[in-house]
Structure 1
């Protein structure tokens, strides 16, 4: 047996010794069980957030009998506690402990021991998981709809607020009113309402900008997988460590068109003028938030005349025109990421597929895209079928 295999066998033996101590009273020697004679109770999600850890521990490491999948059940493992039969199953409606009625008073103890044992397994497999992540043998949850919906919500709210700011207040006619106080009152009312609406638009627009950059970061990570381009040995870690700017360059190519360059520069300007200052406590990278006092003169902003382009230059940092221009840039970026050589990858992402970065998965995305529209739709339909199958546990 190779040296490495001997070491792994020894580590597994030590793990089983530790688990035997933590799971005192548990045994894999399960008798033939009629599962319907056992009483069931839900295991707390907070205590067992990753049910698969129980399957790994009890089936793979401790050799418990198991069954699965079944009707609305993904898996079940069987054993005993204090000589009485127990089973743990993951079903559509949660993780369930099935046990003999004789163990009703022991349930808290059973849960506590299982929870402690899972922590031992977690420590044992963590180096393996880290290595898999480093190698890119990982998947990403596709939450694009959530990120985009948040962006669209704040964009819509900002649009509404800025439209309200433009509305004029109509003066209600008053018989015999010859005094100018009424006109002044109406003007002030209109001004106050407009300022309030502009302020609301500003708040929502800042939130929109932040939401868009979050959605962009998520989108770029998903798109990188769906391009199907193979990754070098440490390529996944290297890509995830890049800035969104660097990720955009990798996805769009080294020589984008003049129009694309202009759009990307617009993104960088929004990042510097709005996103960074409001996301990082008001600090601007060009020192615009810093003010130097000059005796007998006053204060000078750290970015000097560039302060004219700062969000703080205006009473309302983001007005209707700024908001509209930002939206235009974002729309143009969306087009860049959904056209040309990225069209197929964007379609896979938009379909809600959870991508994986292992070489086999990357190759499958590449083949689906290169096969044309029909092949792409077949791939999406197949993935959707499997997703529904496992989500609903319709085995």
Structure 2
């Protein structure tokens, strides 16, 4: 990241200097004094400050410098608040606030800490409205975005409902009311079929959501250019439109699987989901803001609904659906999707910036080279997560 400020930062700096951060001043630079004073440590929860990088940027706007990284610390900012030496640090186990204890009054320093955290939280609103929101469309256009890889959790959801649909069972409380005699078996069988139906519908929804997610994550591996084709629009589109952009419907297999998926969707899923990209303020996509870092942004998507149809699901129905899904999973390992699926199943997030897309082109020159690239990227991610700088 460079030190260049984003458009809107000047207005945000003026507002912060006059409001929530007006009491945050330059720290005392006497190193002997800063090492001597007793400090109170306060952990700052995610509920209080969800995005530490945003607070760091707000403090930067009012002239306070950050330092780091250091051992198990990503960054820290020193400042003076109401005459007390303070430090805000983003450490391995979370955001921490250190405050000078005056006259051994620990009750008072707790109040000061709460006041600091409240003011820091308020500062984020100015940055969001004056800096983040206006810059978001341009960042999407330039591909300065990372899509969070939710493949593992979406896959687990699908497999959970698939296993239930494939192995229906009677819940004891649901059959206690069934009459004894000849009707018990038939009623129980009917209930098992109903359970299978609901689980089948849920598994179809889960698989289509997983499929949409894979199609989004696969875009940088398919020569997708966000400056020409809108990433935001693609994420919000229906699964069929996503499929048609990633695959070539003039090719036999591409069209054949598409048509078979349409049949399953029309029968077992009455509305569309959008691959785990939540409505409102979510954490599915991160935009890359200069001087701040990666910040999650919410995306609008259709509301998920599962159709409730009072019809049983037969073994033939269930086997037909899951046979198709298994074929598609196997098909995704062909030469066109092989590299994308290796990356996706590794759990690594997917960037859309030009640098990453250029790295992919170079890495995909051979399977060996690509595997090395995945392994090295995973190593860097682990090192960052553990703050091993």
**Given the alignment of the two structures, is residue 270 of structure 1 paired with residue 276 of structure 2, yes or no?**
no
Aligned residue among 13, 16, 19 for 2:16: 19
Indicate the residue corresponding to 1:97 in structure 2. 97
Shift of the 75–245 alpha-carbon distance from structure 1 to 2, 3 Å rule, reads same
Aligned residue among 121, 125, 130 for 1:119: 125
Question: 1:14-163 residue pairs with structure 2 within 5 A?
Answer: 14-21=11-18, 22-31=20-29, 32=31, 33-34=34-35, 37-59=38-60, 61-102=61-102, 103-126=109-132, 127-161=134-168
Indicate the residue corresponding to 2:286 in structure 1. none
Shift of the 41–7 alpha-carbon distance from structure 1 to 2, 3 Å rule, reads closer
Shift of 1:234: 4.3
Q: Deviations over 1:201-252 (max 9, x none)?
A: 1111111011111111111100112334444434323433432112212222
**Given the alignment of the two structures, is residue 360 of structure 1 paired with residue 355 of structure 2, yes or no?**
yes
Q: Distance in 2 between matches of 1:242 and 1:330?
A: 21
Indicate the residue corresponding to 2:336 in structure 1. 341
Q: Which has the higher contact order (CA 8 A, sep 6+)?
A: 2
Q: Distance in 2 between matches of 1:232 and 1:105?
A: 49
Shift of the 360–115 alpha-carbon distance from structure 1 to 2, 3 Å rule, reads same
Residues 274 and 311 of structure 1 are in contact (CA less than 8 Å); yes or no, is this contact kept in structure 2? no
Q: Secondary structure of the equivalent of 1:64?
A: coil
Between stretches 86-95 and 99-108, larger displacement belongs to: 99-108
How many residues matched? 335
Q: Distance in 1 between matches of 2:35 and 2:149?
A: 40
TM score, norm. by length of structure 1:
0.78
Residues 257 and 328 of structure 2 are in contact (CA less than 8 Å); yes or no, is this contact kept in structure 1? yes
Shift of the 86–311 alpha-carbon distance from structure 1 to 2, 3 Å rule, reads closer
Indicate the residue corresponding to 1:178 in structure 2. none
TM score, norm. by length of structure 2:
0.79
Shift of the 104–226 alpha-carbon distance from structure 1 to 2, 3 Å rule, reads same
Residues 229 and 366 of structure 1 are in contact (CA less than 8 Å); yes or no, is this contact kept in structure 2? no
Q: Distance in 2 between matches of 1:356 and 1:391?
A: 17
Q: Distance in 2 between matches of 1:36 and 1:384?
A: 41
Shift of the 157–361 alpha-carbon distance from structure 1 to 2, 3 Å rule, reads same
Q: Distance in 1 between matches of 2:211 and 2:5?
A: 47
Residues 158 and 207 of structure 2 are in contact (CA less than 8 Å); yes or no, is this contact kept in structure 1? yes
Aligned residue among 196, 207, 216 for 1:212: 207
Shift of the 148–368 alpha-carbon distance from structure 1 to 2, 3 Å rule, reads same
Q: Distance in 2 between matches of 1:75 and 1:248?
A: 42
Q: Distance in 1 between matches of 2:206 and 2:36?
A: 49
**Given the alignment of the two structures, is residue 246 of structure 1 paired with residue 241 of structure 2, yes or no?**
yes
Aligned residue among 365, 384, 389 for 2:383: 389
What do you get for the CA RMSD once the two structures are aligned? 2.7
- Give 5+ residue unaligned stretches, structure 1: 166-183, 280-309
Residues 221 and 357 of structure 2 are in contact (CA less than 8 Å); yes or no, is this contact kept in structure 1? yes
Residues 84 and 100 of structure 1 are in contact (CA less than 8 Å); yes or no, is this contact kept in structure 2? yes
Question: 1:287-302 residue pairs with structure 2 within 5 A?
Answer: none
Shift of the 13–229 alpha-carbon distance from structure 1 to 2, 3 Å rule, reads closer
Indicate the residue corresponding to 1:256 in structure 2. 251
Residues 85 and 100 of structure 2 are in contact (CA less than 8 Å); yes or no, is this contact kept in structure 1? yes
Indicate the residue corresponding to 1:321 in structure 2. 316
Structure whose CA Rg is larger:
1
